[in-house]
Amino acid sequence: MYTDLPEEQLHGYRSAVREPADFDQFWAGTLAEARDARWPVRVEPVTTGLVSIDVFDVTFPGFAGQPVRGWLRVPHGAGMALPTVVQYAGYGGGRGHPLENLLWAAAGFVHLQMDTRGQGSGWSRGATPDPGAAGPEAPGVTTRGIADPRTYYYRRLITDAVRAVDAVRTLPVVDPTRVAVLGHSQGGGLALAAGALAPGVRAVVALVPFLCDIPRAIVATDARPYREIRDYLAIHRDAEERVLATLAYVDGVNFARRCRRPTRYSVALMDDIVPPSTVYAAVNAHAGPTELSVWRYNGHEAGGIDDDEAALRFLGEHLAEGAEPIRPAVGRRSGAELRSG
């Protein structure tokens, strides 16, 4: 069933999420510190048995120069610098197995699947630890270090996401002017943040993005991961103001306000994990051109393979040589509402 506001109210929904006065300085300082820890990206070939895709084990410097892993998949025999997709995993997932997730390389893109620090044991494998701050937290990672934006888990993970773009743009097989970021749920939230913060990003795909309009999300759904924040506040009853102040630094609405890259969103109206209004909050705050698919009869899986097909078309357009911003067009397809503007 529908889990949020009526559809006609969703279209005009605007978030009231606060914007910290030092938001831009916070992220500029965080990224400058991460970039000061300079060491070469390590790329090691992996034997997979594939004949059309070459796979490499990548390690690059993330938050505070800490090593972050990833799989780099390259169309076999690539003789020129190619357009590239950097992908981020959903909550609980990591970079997975080297034989998984071959769509983007099969379509002719270089594909970097970033690992997720401290996760990668929920539904796919990971190999990157999170040596960040400890402290009282609810089970999961959404409240890790939440008492202060400087120690918060998502400060580290968002920095990793930006540094993944920095890293991939240094590789000879990558055209540094044609890089996109993509993800579903938590990965969509990271893609939106990277689209706002990372130089060189040309397009963004944020499918049912997590971490948008967080103050509304934690009272609009009983599902995890947002439930972790609510559980924390149910015990730390005096921490609400401090916690909401921390969350404002990682809220996708604040990144959307700064993201001028063409961005494709999707939203599912029966999603009980990422409330639909929180996705509309980011879409309606977005500073650049957007395209939106609305899946009326789906939950958190959203459009599934149909979202992938649309993303493939979208990235093909925007990562092409000499690509223009998305054309203003309106149409309907497969139960999805497409909107540009």
**Rounded distance between C-alpha atoms, residue 333 and residue 330, angstroms:** 10
| The two structure tokens encoding residue 103 | 């769509």
Q: Choosing from 11, 300, 308, 340, which is the catalytic residue?
A: 300
Q: 111 CB contacts (<8 Å, ≥6 apart)?
A: 71, 72, 73, 74, 84, 85, 87, 101, 104, 105
Q: Choosing from 54, 231, 271, 307, which is the catalytic residue?
A: 271
| 271 tagged catalytic | yes
User: Which is nearest to 209 in space by CA: 227, 183, 244?
Assistant: 183
| 300 tagged catalytic | yes
| 121 tagged catalytic | no
User: Which is nearest to 62 in space by CA: 84, 37, 87?
Assistant: 37
| The two structure tokens encoding residue 32 | 């400058």
Unique residue bearing structure tokens 């939203």: 267
Three-class secondary structure assignment of 48-109: CCCCCEEEEEEEEECHHHCEEEEEEEEECCCCCCEEEEEEECCCCCCCCCCCCCCHHHHCCC
**Rounded distance between C-alpha atoms, residue 141 and residue 153, angstroms:** 7
* Alpha carbons within 13 A on the beta-carbon side of 173: 21
Would you say 310 and 304 are in contact if contact means Cβ atoms under 8 Å apart?
Answer: no
Q: Choosing from 124, 185, 266, 277, which is the catalytic residue?
A: 185
Dihedral, 229, 195, 129, 230 alpha carbons, nearest 10: 0
The amino acid at residue 174 is V
**Rounded distance between C-alpha atoms, residue 62 and residue 104, angstroms:** 23
**Rounded distance between C-alpha atoms, residue 268 and residue 246, angstroms:** 27
| φ, ψ for residue 315, nearest 5 deg | -70, -35
Catalytic residues: 185, 271, 300
